[in-house]
Every structure is written in C-alpha cells, then in structure tokens.
Structure 1
Amino acid sequence: MINQRRKFIQLGTVLGLGALGLPLQYCSSPKKEDSTENASGLLKLEKFGIQIYSVKEDMDTDPIATFRALGGFGYKQLEGFDGGKGILWGMQPTEFKSLMTEIGSEMVSSHCNVFENLESQAEMAAEVGMKYLICPWIGPQKSLEEYKKKAAEFNIIGEKLKPFGLKFAYHNHDYTFVDMEGKIPQDILMEETDPALVDFELDMYWAYVAGINPAEYLAKYPGRFRLCHVKDAEAGTGDPHQRGVLLGQGEIPYAKLIKESLNLGMEYFIVEQERFPTGTPLEAAESNAKYLGSLEY
C-alpha cells in the first residue's frame, strides 16, 4: 500500500470548496443546529455518538448497564451492531425505547447483515426510531465487476428499506481504497449507486491508513456521506490494524476534519475504538467522549 499520508497539509486550501466547483449548499458555514458556539466564536459538536462494538465485551455481559454508562459519558447518539442477540440486544421495542429515553440517547443506526432477514430487522429498527441500517463488510472483491454487482445489490436494499422509513448505508474498510485495475473500488460503489437509495458511512481511520485524505474524498462526493466513524491513528506507517489510539493521541486533525465534513453533508459523528493500548473499553469510551465534547473547530 502506497503511503500517501500528507498529514493534511494545507487542508483548508485543498478544500477550497468554491474552487472545487461544489454545489452551493455545501459551501456554507457548519450548521448551527449541529453545534454550539462559545464566546470566541468557535464551535463544538452538540451531539455525537459511539458504535457500541467499541464496548462489545461489556455489551455481551450486561447491555443495559453498558447503554446507561455510555449515556452517562455524554453520547447522545448510538450505533448498534448485531452481537448475536439481534439489533435490539434481546429487548422488545417498547423496552428499548424506554431505555433510550432514560439515558437521553437515541439509536440512530445499526450495523447488521443486510443480506438476510432484512425486512424483520427493518421493522424493529423503524419501531425504535432508527434512521439507518448499515452494511459493515462485504470483504475484498475479486474484480471491479464484482464491486459493480455489490453496488446493484445496495440499490435494491435501499429500495426495500424505503417503506420502513429507513435509509441504507455502506461502511468502508481500507480494502475499498486500494487500487484495483487502475480504479479505486470505493469510487465504483459511489458511482454505481443511486444517491436517493444509498448513503455511505466513511470510516475516517480506514480511509486514512489506506493513504486517503478523508476530507478530500468527502469533497469528491459531497452529500453522499451522512455518517462517519471517528477514530485516531498514531503517527507512522506500520500495520494499519495496530495504529489505533484514543482520540487526540494520534495525527488525524479532527478539528479541521469535522468542520469540513459538516460543510459537505456529514450529519453523524460516531466514535469507534477497536484497539486499546491502555485501559478498558469503557474507559476509552469515556475518554473519547471527553475529547469530542471539548473539541473546538
């Protein structure tokens, strides 16, 4: 993998939105409803979330206690995954909604197997007010033609979710940003899917360690990425699976990146932590919440 990390040099210049010819609606200031402004005029995120896979062991042991802890850390938005107990973690919709009200959070999305039992999962998701069902993994495909077939499947899934009031999104890993036959597979997925049916969740970390500047890529496809995973990478060029660190301890400049992302249609900033150099997963979740809650941009 060619290392193209440039540490986002002259990020603001690169993202001169007018120069890029972006639609006017993506050239405005970050939306105030997404942020709060302090006395110095800088903004802070009003809401942010966490992918509960970050605390999967705690979820497996006691999901209700774990949800309460995450709400206590300040996560107003949650993103689920199916840990073998279903997307509601064994709870009935009324019980689940009651818990979300108690902790002051909402489950905005869930990673799940969208290729099986889609309708039953969609019914549960809609009943508790989720907005997205997300495909978290398709694995490296053997050819660009195979990626085109996946894109066609994504369109069908997006169409099937419409009657439930839900949207479909795909979450990337690094492999869709690795050159194949002179093309970037992620570009195929972007170009072959209907924007009315398919959104995307940009994993900032996986794009970054694959040599992609996340902000540049967002600018290439404004409005297509509505959700993102926020996690940091330590400096260096080592194993991409071993570079994850707590937010603020790495080299991804999230203050600039969040500001630019909001200008390009991003709505949900979701923490994910997969590597824990120190401490427990819940301690990491608390630390990451403090970082995002105090970050000014």
Structure 2
Amino acid sequence: MKNRRKFIKMSAVLGTGALLPLQFCASPKKETVEGTEALLGAAKGILDDFGLQLYSVKENMAEDPVATIKAVASFGYTQIEGFDGGKGIFWGMKNTEFKSLTDDLGLNFIASHADTFKDLETQAEQAGAIGMKYLINPWVGPQKSMDAFKKLADDFNKQGEICKQHGLRFAYHNHGYTFEELEGQIPQDYLMENTDPDLVDFEMDTYWVYTAGFDPIAYIKKYPNRFKLGHVKDKDGDLDFSEPNGSILVGKGIMDFPAILRTGMDNGMKYFIVEQERFEGTTPMEAAEKNASFMKNIVF
C-alpha cells in the first residue's frame, strides 16, 4: 500500500474530469508541495474567509472553550465550525451567549457537527435563531446493506426539511466508509443522487475521499453545487493509506489543495474548513496557527 502514495496527481487536475480511483492517477509528491510553497512566497492568498473545525483543538476546548476560541480568532480564522463535546454545540452557554462571544471576536459561527437524530427541532431552532448556516451530521457509521443507506437518504431529506423550517441548512459529512462498494454500489453516490438538493447539502472531507482511493476534484465536478462545505485536511505521505489517522499540517502532505480549492470554488463550495487530527512534533494549537498561516497565503 505504501507505494500508492507515489501516485498522487489526480486525473481531474490533468483536465480529464474522470472519476478514477487514485491508483490510476500518477505524479510525484514533491512538485505539488514545493510548488505551493513557492506560490505562498509570491503573493497574498485569495481566500478572504476560512474556518477551523474545533475538533482539531478538542482537548483545549474541553479545558477552556472561551480561551480556545479567542486564540483561534487571533490566528486569523474568520469562521469556526463546531462539534458537540458533551456540553452541546454551544459548550454549556446559551446560543445567544455563544453568538456574542464569536461576534465580539470577529468570528462567524457558520456550522456545527451535531447528532441530527436527537432533538433536531430544538437544535435547529437554536442554531437558526443566531444565524448559523448549517447543522451537519458527521457520522452514521458503516451500514450492512444498501437498504440502510436508502433509509438514511430518506432520513436526511426529513432532517433537511426540519432545518429549512428554522432558516438553516442540513449537510452530511462523509468518511471513507461511504466510498466502499456495497452490493455493487458506492453509497456516497446513492446519497448524492437520492437526497433533495433543496434540503440536503454535503460537506466533503477531502482527506477521506482521497484515502478511500478517489479523486476529490473529480467528485466535486461530478456533483456540482452539492458540496457546499469542504474540510481542508492533508494526508501524510509517509503513512500508509490504510492508516486511519494520517493527517498532517496542511500543505505538508500529498494533497494538491490549490487545485482542490479552486475546483471547489468553481463548483459551488462556499466554506473551507481546516481540520487536523494527528499531531507529530507540535501541539494542536500550534498546528491550528500554522494551518491558518497556510490558508491566509494560499493562491491558486
């Protein structure tokens, strides 16, 4: 499996637009990373806004959410995407209190990962009341049959309707399991094609698409305007593709984010959210600051 990391340039980058597994897409790692670093020194980045998934600094959030969010704002992020760390998506605060905190720091609390199968009416009402854009289901787990995914598509449509009634959107965040063939189908394709675009959007975790053996660029092109949010999470080229926890500082891995983000912007992606889950030789907060620097300066 390790040799797969040598074959990283995606078919869509070359202009084919074909949805090919990555093992058929070849080009070396270093040109992408070094080319990006050269560009970083040449011009100011073009992203006016970008965010951080707070799960990247989950230990800090558990210790002191207010101090952590203040630090995140100081790094240059303009948006945050939350998660439920056990105290709800507002971290023990009222929704309006959390909104005041982020507003005072110049942060837009655009979305949160949440258990959308539990108390969705209440969550959606509170999120909509403070102008959040999304509630996102981040995990349903591998399913045993396509019938289970068919039920999930129906569930997502219903959840999307509830969110819409409260002035926000519903989205589903993928992991690798929706890209594993099941009964001759790719579950992610089924979910994309059998949910109502008026009710359901998707957040592409580019890392999980890539490590599942697919091309994020081609997938964005295959389903334009469905991936409204994207997780910017890089893959460490020194780790096997089968390693589930293989993220690294953005721009230091093997994924071509200038090309991925350009394609996203051209195909309806509005929100670009940094996420990192593995830290070698740095702390989560140090990594968040370095990733913000990359995002502030990225050009494509």
What residue number does 1:144 align with? 146
What residue number does 1:21 align with? none
Cα offset for 1:42?
8.1
Cα offset for 1:100?
1.1
How many percent of aligned residue pairs carry the same amino acid?
50
Aligned with 2:217 (options 196, 200, 215) = 215
Does structure 2 retain, via aligned residues, the 8 Å contact 1:173–1:206? yes
Q: Deviations over 1:174-213 (max 9, x none)?
A: 0001111221110011111011110000000000000010
Give the secondary structure class of the aligned counterpart of 2:230: strand
Give the secondary structure class of the aligned counterpart of 2:68: helix
In structure 2, relative to structure 1, the CA distance for the partners of 1:242 and 1:86 (3 Å cut) is closer
- Equivalent pairs counted in the alignment come to 275
Give the secondary structure class of the aligned counterpart of 2:171: strand
1:1-297 equivalent positions in 2, closer than 5 A: 6-9=8-11, 11-15=13-17, 44-235=46-237, 237-297=240-300
CA distance in 2, matches of 1:94, 1:136: 24
Letter matched to residue 155 of structure 2: E
Does structure 1 retain, via aligned residues, the 8 Å contact 2:178–2:188? yes
Give the secondary structure class of the aligned counterpart of 1:14: coil
Does structure 1 retain, via aligned residues, the 8 Å contact 2:52–2:274? yes
Cα offset for 1:41?
8.8
Does structure 1 retain, via aligned residues, the 8 Å contact 2:12–2:217? no
Does structure 1 retain, via aligned residues, the 8 Å contact 2:142–2:178? yes
Does structure 1 retain, via aligned residues, the 8 Å contact 2:236–2:252? yes
CA distance in 2, matches of 1:127, 1:115: 20
Give the secondary structure class of the aligned counterpart of 2:15: helix
CA distance in 1, matches of 2:61, 2:13: 38
Q: What TM-score comes out, normalization by structure 1 length? A: 0.88
Q: CA RMSD in A?
A: 2.1
Cα offset for 1:136?
0.4
What residue number does 1:34 align with? none
Does structure 2 retain, via aligned residues, the 8 Å contact 1:227–1:266? yes
Q: What TM-score comes out, normalization by structure 2 length? A: 0.87
Cα offset for 1:232?
0.4
Q: Which runs of 5+ in 2 are unaligned?
A: 19-39
Give the secondary structure class of the aligned counterpart of 1:158: helix
Cα offset for 1:10?
6.1
What residue number does 2:25 align with? none
CA distance in 1, matches of 2:124, 2:198: 18
Does structure 2 retain, via aligned residues, the 8 Å contact 1:96–1:128? no
